[in-house]
Amino acid sequence: AQSVTQLGSHVSVSEGALVLLRCNYSSSVPPYLFWYVQYPNQGLQLLLKYTSAATLVKGINGFEAEFKKSETSFHLTKPSAHMSDAAEYFCAVGSSNTGKLIFGQGTTLQVKP
Amino acid sequence: NAGVTQTPKFQVLKTGQSMTLQCAQDMNHNSMYWYRQDPGMGLRLIYYSASEGTTDKGEVPNGYNVSRLNKREFSLRLESAAPSQTSVYFCASSETLRQPQHFGDGTRLSIL
């Protein structure tokens, strides 16, 4: 069975500060992993995906994530937060067997001026 | 460039009423999905369709039915709505099961 845990339902940073959103997963088969972002009253948009080609994955809007197999983690980072980054972020793990995604509970990012 | 279109955007139902949520994608994707989003629970998969002509249960299928009408359209039906089905429903599509999913803007459904 697969699962994903996002540590911290709310994260608050100052504009210009480092953003770190944590995601840990469990999977009995090689996983593929995604980060999505959701702005208010909208659907989810893909930020980045990991599919085993490289452990450091770069996404849109300056975000990146590093796959660490030994820690079963896929944390999302951005060096300098912008006000427009305020949104809810979801980590998701997919099975290479079934293709179905399991989503984490989400982390709301607040960016303070 | 519409992507994934969901109708309606909002709906209020009474307990016991039935309703069909519509979803259409214009990206020629093979796979389509229905999720529900509830506060603090992320998105949970209700049903999915790996390809035209197939449907499978997800994590929370009870109380729902789906129809993959053709390659473009995937509908979700509530036969007898219950207050526990109050949620935001998202439809998504992807080229295949293992590719990134593209989401619609959601249907906000309240059941009184």
Q: Spell out the per-residue pLDDT of chain B, length 112, in tens.
A: 679 999 999 999 999 999 999 999 999 999 999 999 998 888 999 999 999 999 999 999 999 999 998 999 999 999 999 999 999 999 999 998 888 899 999 999 999 9
Q: Check whether A97 has a pLDDT greater than 70.
A: no
Report chain B residues whose CB lies below 8 A from the CB of A21. none
pLDDT for residue A20: 98
pLDDT digits (tens, 9 = 90+) for A16-75: 999 999 999 988 777 889 999 999 888 999 999 987 778 899 999 999 999 998 999 999
- What does the pLDDT read at residue A96? 65
Distance CA A2, CA B49 (A): 20
> Among partner residues A9, A42, A49, which is closest to B40 by beta-carbon distance?
A9
Which pLDDT score, from 0 to 100, does residue B98 have? Answer: 80
Cβ neighbours for B106, distance < 8 A, ≥ 6 positions apart: A41, A42, A43, B6, B9, B37, B88, B89, B90
Find which of B9, B32, B98 to mutate to test the A interface (most A CBs within 10 Å of its CB): B98
Q: Where are the beta strands (DSSP E) in B1-112?
A: 4-7, 10-13, 19-25, 31-37, 43-49, 56-57, 64-68, 74-78, 87-94, 102-103, 107-111
C-alpha to C-alpha distance for B105 and A77, rounded to whole angstroms: 26
Task: For residues B69 and A49, give the distance between their C-alpha atoms in angstroms, rounded to a whole number.
Answer: 30
Find the angle CA(A64)-CA(A66)-CA(A67) to the nearest 5 degrees.
140
**Which of the residues A10, A42, A103 would you substitute to probe the B interface, choosing the one with the greatest number of B C-beta atoms within 10 Å?**
A103
